[in-house]
Amino acid sequence: GQSLEQPSEVTAVEGAIVQINCTYQTSGFYGLSWYQQHDGGAPTFLSYNALDGLEETGRFSSFLSRSDSYGYLLLQELQMKDSASYFCAGEGSSASKIIFGSGTRLSIRP
Amino acid sequence: ETGVTQSPTHLIKTRGQQVTLRCSSQSGHNTVSWYQQALGQGPQFIFQYYREEENGRGNFPPRFSGLQFPNYSSELNVNALELDDSALYLCASSAPGTSDTQYFGPGTRLTVL
């Protein structure tokens, strides 16, 4: 089967750095995406890693290691507006093309 | 550029009824995926349509069906509604060859009583 595992909750302090991990088990894995979802809102695309290594987009970076079936999202200079749920998603070659993790709820403290 | 839109925003149905949810893709996007998201969970993939053909399906029963139209708008139909079908239904569109980057609509909140 295919699955992606994330911590359910993470708490961090405003201005700090936080890392949200994602481990996956998928067949025919193509890449790992990250989405942000605020309460009551729709998921918003953050980043995509097709190859091993680090992708940087402003305050957000994402990392993938295919050999370890592992990735993470790194958020720097945390702001209160970053409080949201973060999902990793894997694109596989099976009938279930896009599999989402269960999400990590990030809470930011002043 | 118009984003992804969905209608209606909220819907209340009773068990056994049928429902149709609608989605308009972002301009230039020919692929649309539908997801079911229960409270506190990640989106669960229902199916994907590409150029009006189903292009992948998740672990959902046949009473979940869909259509994609020539203008790439889409419908999700659910027959014989069950209480567990209560959820947020999201559609997401993506440009050709970029299904890894999806743009989500605001969703339809379905409540089945």
Angstrom distance (rounded) from CA B50 to CA B106: 21
- When pLDDT is cut at 50, 70 and 90, the band that residue A93 belongs to is low
Nearest by CB to residue A45, choosing from B55, B57, B101, is B101
User: b/e per residue, A60-72, with b = 16+ CB within 10 A?
Assistant: bbbbbeeeebebb
Whether B24 and chain A come into contact, CB under 8 Å, resolves to no
Give me the pLDDT at residue A91, please.
76
| A residues 40..69 contacting B (CB < 8 A) | 41-45, 48, 50
- pLDDT, one tens digit per residue, over A19-63 is 999 999 866 677 899 999 999 899 999 999 989 999 998 999 999
pLDDT at residue A36, rounded to an integer: 97
- What's residue A27's pLDDT? 67
pLDDT of residue A2: 74
Digit-coded pLDDT (tens) for B21-32: 999 998 888 899
Q: pLDDT at residue A81 above 80?
A: yes
Q: How many CB pairs under 8 A join A and B?
A: 60
CB-nearest partner of A97 from B90, B99, B105: B99
